[in-house]
Chains A and B, each alone.
Chain A
Amino acid sequence: MALWNKQPFEDLLENKLVEKLGPDEGRSFFSRYTCVRDRLIDEVLSEIPGSEPNLSKHDASHIKQLLVRAYQLLGDDCKKLSEYELYTLGISILFHDSGNLFGRDNHHAKDQVAKVYNGIRGSDPKWRQERHVILTIIESHTGKERDGSASDTLQKVELVSSLENGEKIRIREIASILRFADELEEGPLRTSFFRQSQNSGKGSYPESSKPYHEYANITNVVADRGNGRIVIRYHIDFDTKKDARGVKFKKALEFAYERIIKLDDERQYTKYYSELLLPFKKTEVSFHFSINEIPIEMELEPLVFADEIPIPGRKRKKSQHLQIVTDQNKNYDVKSILKKIQKKIK
């Protein structure tokens, strides 16, 4: 198996299972999780780049980061999840992107993920209830229906279900946590800087994927539960040689604005369905600019997006994003930022 250090989430899961079932049964139940993890990492996730070479990374590192993220999101309240709920969350994290093996479109759909699930777990009927729970959770981790239309997918998830042993599991809660943790999982680890540096040709990313990879490069997200906030820090460089007119810079900034609003929408949406995500009352965003990698001072106060009345299924129009950000603070007007930077360059 690929190198894997046991994550704190996994320690907690194992300990809770042992506490509940005793050492032998607890560890045996935990091995249901580790077996899936090891096979998925070796045989499925490592193969996704073959079928979807231009996606951001969906390999073992993404799973590891997501386990860390879920743990960070819940903080001490992780303990408020029962051992079976933690187990379900862990298994959902493992499978959540496995459908990409058959293509990005509908990668979350039950039939796509089921193919991987069955391949890993086999056809023993004892897994059918677990499969049902896991597929339901995963299907709601994006906001899209099969036809690509936006929808209130979490609302369709049952409030409570169970594994084969009949113990109650709050699956809508778990689906919300998975979805929000996945939304936060952005950053340089999810892309290849080498491929981005290839301008064109076989090694490079296609134009349609580039903004996502560039976005991953500039983004740093922290879930600061104690202070009730999600903090996004952007580090955007203005490259005077490769982007003298600032076209790429402007695009990166606009794309960041779009993603801020999406992330904040997701924060408000998922906490509507999740008790454990309630402490996240706001999204704070700060931008750090540099010119040719030398940091510059723009004196921009961080943006703060606090809770509004949650509207499940609400999606703000793309064109609204720039307006929403500048309504928060007019100094974030893209043109004026660009102007200020160009002035500094001169």
Chain B
Amino acid sequence: MKNPFEYEAANNLTTQEILDYYIEDYNYTRFLESKRNIFLLGDRGSGKTMTLLYNSFKIKYEDPKRNKSKDLFEKIGIHIPCNTPLFHKKEYLLFEDDFRVQIIAEHYFVLSITNAIVASLKDVREVIEAFKDFDEELKEDFSYIFNIPVSTKHSFLESISRWIDKEAFETQKQINDPKNNEFYQNALSLSTLVLPLIKKIKKVPLYKDSHFIFLVDDAHDLNTHQVKVLNSWIAYRDHSDFSLKVATAKVNKPIKITSTGGSILEGHDYTNIDLEKPFYNKDSEFGNLAKSIIKKRLEKISNIDKEPSHFFPTNPELAESLEKYKEIARKEGIAKYGEKEKKKVTDHVYKYARAYYFRDRANSRANLVPYSGFDMLVDLSTGIIRNLLDPCYYMYDAEVSSKKDDTKIEMIPPKTQRDIIKARSDAMWKRLEDGLEKEIEACTESQGKRIYQLFDNLVLHFRERLIKHKSEPRAIMFTISQVDNEHYSELIGLLKIAQMSQLLYTRSGVAKDDGRKEIYYVPNRMLLPTRGLDPNGQHARVSLKCNDLWNAAVGNIPIPFNDDANETNAQAELFG
């Protein structure tokens, strides 16, 4: 029985699986199909690769819904993964001269792009047909420009593919040759290989109006020289024939400097799209997306036609208790503001009902909160698709293992949900306790210890707020204040490692005091169940002093609690 929540990196999925699982968001598609350059930002697991692949020509061509559209050959998406051996070549380290390094970086980059163009097109029936009449002419042109013999046995595209393999080999051989002090003279660039190739391809009538969209995936894996090359192409003004859509993680986001020392400018050279902040359309908020993903997976893989909230029901005791506390908070609100002040009363219920429930549970040493329900799973995901699927996968697996027959899994009982959530939360804490140096190369043992202590104290702080804070008891995000501190950069270093481990995420929002944009930090909400906290946080952020966070990390000193802390109402970007 296939687990519908299995999470595979998008690169490992078949075309059909991509078509089955992907939930199209018109707003992203519109940008991805435009001629402008786009940076697609999102943490690991937020669906960047899936989005790029879905918009690639290869997948579009196999999609019966889209392959009839007239623009199939007008917008040709070429998926270019940056974590391939060609990108990771280290030959450039042999050069001391920056200029030469850039040239070699661009050389390998354009070989990869050309390879990707050819790989995307060469097996498509219409393309083979369309090229037939032009094959000889193109081969002759190509042979003349690059001064290479082109095989008569193979098609134009196939010949290029073979030549790229040979060229990569030749480059490596020559650069690595210790006897050869000369620079590699055949180095290619965007303007000497990719653009002429596109021009040649556009000779074929099927492509005469084509715009090539280079879908550069995992750009955070590029080295600085490759990033500069990429940026130079982004700053290139003529985008009639090609544009770049670059997906990158937020941590280690590429710099914005070009190889000539210039800059690329947001809003002019490129547009940022934050995959975790569905800003462009109210309907595309993460909650709806999560619902669609789960529903589609249940239908397509397990043939279950059920709403996610029915498949993951909430524990009746939890639902009942929450209702009871809502009523308590409502009465309190009415007593405070009067029955006519409906909005104020509603706000009061929103702020305090859940807080009272979790507070009482924390005080009474009762059993673990029966964490369950689809909404709870969405909250626990912290806005990341991979985090949403992870506990679902284990829950489904636990149900399959406990069954004695082959009958369908119709729902995940609340008890299983609670047990798995607790186990996944415990596992996350275990990773922290064991030390992140075991999984992140750039992390030292001492940093690993500090990160654990920092998170431990953060969660203790959130718990203290839950119990004592008067106005924002459920705040579980924070900003850093008083950053002119000698330890600020070291603290940010720790937070970056936590981000790389997906234990922490960043969002940007408007600061309360001066309206400027500020970064705020959201710990992975899966950390909260072990400590009895509510993953459904309040739209508020706690302002924590840099020094207090540093003391917590280094000295394991509790973060001071202040009931008047300067909180900021978040702009409801995550689940709003």
Asked whether A and B interact, the reply is: yes
For residue A304, CB closer than 8 A to chain B, the reply is: yes
For residue B377, CB closer than 8 A to chain A, the reply is: no
Min CB distance B322 to A, Å, is: 35
For residue B267, CB closer than 8 A to chain A, the reply is: yes
CB-CB nearest in chain A for B263: A224
Contacts of B265 in A (CB 8 A): 222, 224, 231, 233
Min CB distance A193 to B, Å, is: 12
B268 adjacent to A231 (CB under 8 Å): yes
For residue B34, CB closer than 8 A to chain A, the reply is: yes
Task: Tell me which of A76, A226, A304 contacts B262 (CB under 8 A).
Answer: A226
A226 adjacent to B268 (CB under 8 Å): no
Contacts of B263 in A (CB 8 A): 222, 224, 226-227
CB-CB nearest in chain A for B279: A295
Distance, CA A76 to CA B260, complexed state (A): 12
**Which residues B226-283 have CB closer than 8 A to chain A?**
232, 235, 237, 239, 257-258, 260-263, 265, 267-268
Interface flags for A55-66 (1: CB within 8 Å of B; 0: not) read: 000000000000
B237 adjacent to A228 (CB under 8 Å): no
Interface flags for A217-234 (1: CB within 8 Å of B; 0: not) read: 000001011111101010
Distance, CA A227 to CA B265, complexed state (A): 11
A301 adjacent to B235 (CB under 8 Å): no
For residue A302, CB closer than 8 A to chain B, the reply is: yes
For residue A299, CB closer than 8 A to chain B, the reply is: yes
Min CB distance A285 to B, Å, is: 9
Task: Tell me which of B35, B235, B261, B268 contacts A233 (CB under 8 A).
Answer: B268
Looking at A76, A227, A233, A288, the one whose CB has the most chain B CB atoms below 10 A away is A227
Looking at A282, A302, A304, the one whose CB has the most chain B CB atoms below 10 A away is A302
CB-CB nearest in chain B for A227: B262
A286 adjacent to B267 (CB under 8 Å): yes
Distance, CA A75 to CA B260, complexed state (A): 12
For residue A284, CB closer than 8 A to chain B, the reply is: yes
Given contacts A233-B268, A284-B268, contact A302 B262 (CB under 8 A): no
Contacts of A301 in B (CB 8 A): 35, 239
A299 adjacent to B235 (CB under 8 Å): no
Distance, CA A10 to CA B35, complexed state (A): 43
B237 adjacent to A284 (CB under 8 Å): yes
Contacts of B257 in A (CB 8 A): 226
Min CB distance B44 to A, Å, is: 28
CB-CB nearest in chain A for B239: A301
Given contacts A227-B235, A284-B237, contact A302 B260 (CB under 8 A): no
Min CB distance A266 to B, Å, is: 20
Contacts of B34 in A (CB 8 A): 299
Given contacts A233-B268, A286-B268, A299-B34, contact A304 B261 (CB under 8 A): no
Distance, CA A225 to CA B267, complexed state (A): 18
| Size band of the interface chain B makes with A | 10 to 19
Interface flags for A277-295 (1: CB within 8 Å of B; 0: not) read: 0000010101010000000
Min CB distance B225 to A, Å, is: 15
Given contacts A299-B34, A302-B237, contact A225 B261 (CB under 8 A): yes
Task: Tell me which of A75, A282, A288 contacts B267 (CB under 8 A).
Answer: A288
Task: Tell me which of A227, A284, A286 contacts B260 (CB under 8 A).
Answer: A227
A224 adjacent to B262 (CB under 8 Å): yes
Min CB distance B256 to A, Å, is: 11
Distance, CA A20 to CA B235, complexed state (A): 39
Contacts of A76 in B (CB 8 A): 261
Contacts of B260 in A (CB 8 A): 226-228
**Which residues A328-343 have CB closer than 8 A to chain B?**
none
Distance, CA A293 to CA B34, complexed state (A): 23
Min CB distance A302 to B, Å, is: 6
B237 adjacent to A304 (CB under 8 Å): yes
Distance, CA A282 to CA B262, complexed state (A): 13
Distance, CA A304 to CA B263, complexed state (A): 17
B237 adjacent to A75 (CB under 8 Å): no
Min CB distance B255 to A, Å, is: 12
Interface flags for A283-326 (1: CB within 8 Å of B; 0: not) read: 01010100000000001011010000000000000000000000
Distance, CA A170 to CA B340, complexed state (A): 77
Given contacts A222-B263, A299-B34, A301-B35, contact A227 B258 (CB under 8 A): yes
Distance, CA A233 to CA B268, complexed state (A): 7
Distance, CA A277 to CA B392, complexed state (A): 61
Distance, CA A304 to CA B238, complexed state (A): 10
Given contacts A227-B235, A299-B34, A301-B35, contact A233 B262 (CB under 8 A): no
B258 adjacent to A226 (CB under 8 Å): yes
Contacts of A299 in B (CB 8 A): 34
Task: Tell me which of A225, A228, A282, A302 contacts B268 (CB under 8 A).
Answer: A302
CB-CB nearest in chain B for A306: B237
A228 adjacent to B262 (CB under 8 Å): yes
10 new A-B contacts, CB < 8 A, other than A225-B261, A229-B262, are A76-B261, A222-B263, A222-B265, A227-B258, A227-B262, A233-B265, A282-B237, A284-B237, A299-B34, A302-B268
A-B CB contact pairs (8 Å), 16 listed: A224-B235, A225-B261, A226-B257, A226-B258, A226-B261, A226-B263, A227-B232, A227-B260, A229-B262, A231-B265, A231-B268, A286-B267, A286-B268, A299-B34, A301-B35, A301-B239
A-B residue pairs, 5 tightest by C-beta: A226-B262, A227-B262, A226-B261, A286-B268, A226-B260
Where the two chains meet, the residues of B that have a C-beta atom closer than 8 Å to any C-beta of A are: 34-35, 232, 235, 237, 239, 257-258, 260-263, 265, 267-268
